[in-house]
Amino acid sequence: MPEILKVVLKRVLRIVVLVFVGAYLIGCFAINSVMFHPKRGWYDETTPHYVDIGTNGVKIAAYVLGPERGKKAILRCHGNAEDMVMSVWALEDLTAFGYTVASVDYPGYGLSDGSPDEEGCYRVVHRLYDWLIDTRGFKPEDIVVDGFSIGTGSAVELAATKPVGGLILEAPFLSAPRVVTHVRILPIDPFPNLKRIGDVKCPKLFFHGTADGVIPYAHGKELFACAAEPKEFVTIEGGNHNDFVLVMGIEAYLGRIRQFLAKEN
């Protein structure tokens, strides 16, 4: 082997090792700062529909709309760089049809205490689920979980570990790191939707835009393919990550959700 080729191969190998080590360090020590972008809301404790559902002195901010005990409760898991109030704008009209809509701020988002991490997101979503059952009187089968973007991680985890009536996934991913890496290369794999979706037995409704520039459309299709029946997939042609509801049309979007909810009555 020519000497120059040996030098080039050594340099390439050195670069590969440095990239792997860098990815490993990010995965172990900096994943939360890369993955989460907390949003502090404009609202406060006096805002209508605000409820503190925290325990042991730890504030967990929730936002609950509609009937106290509606036909069903839609438990919304919000996306990144938004808060619980922003996340329910497209779902508010469901309250006119007798549904309760509830969302919760992740730790470090909105008015919730703490700093964001994967386990914290699961914890507050589980707390809202318990609150809807214990305080509002919903049966588990009357709670439909709806996750958007990074919120699909918490939504899938809840639906895989607790009895629920349905799961709605909007712009879902296979796992958080795979949005960037496409395949698993990190030592940890936060929000492993691909691993968990097979454990979700309830009916499922997927939405994904074909022009999603944040979470590729292929993520939604692959996750859907791995999910068990019953399931439905709604493709929004030309829909991007944050505008697919508008591209689809709010009435069409809400119509598909109402149709999905009605099937579970």
CA distance 59 to 57: 6
Q: Is 208 one of the catalytic residues?
A: no
Alpha carbon of 106 to those of 37, 62, 115, 121: distances in Å? Answer: 11, 10, 8, 5
Q: Is 212 one of the catalytic residues?
A: yes
Location of structure tokens 């082997």: 1
One-letter amino acid at 205 equals L
CA distance 167 to 145: 5
Q: Is 49 one of the catalytic residues?
A: no
Active-site hit among 83, 175, 212, 219: 212
Active-site hit among 112, 149, 154, 175: 149
CA distance 195 to 218: 16
**For residue 230, is the peptide bond before it cis, meaning its omega torsion is within 30 degrees of 0?**
yes
**Is 205 in contact with 227 (CB distance < 8 Å)?**
no
Q: Which residues are catalytic?
A: 149, 212, 241
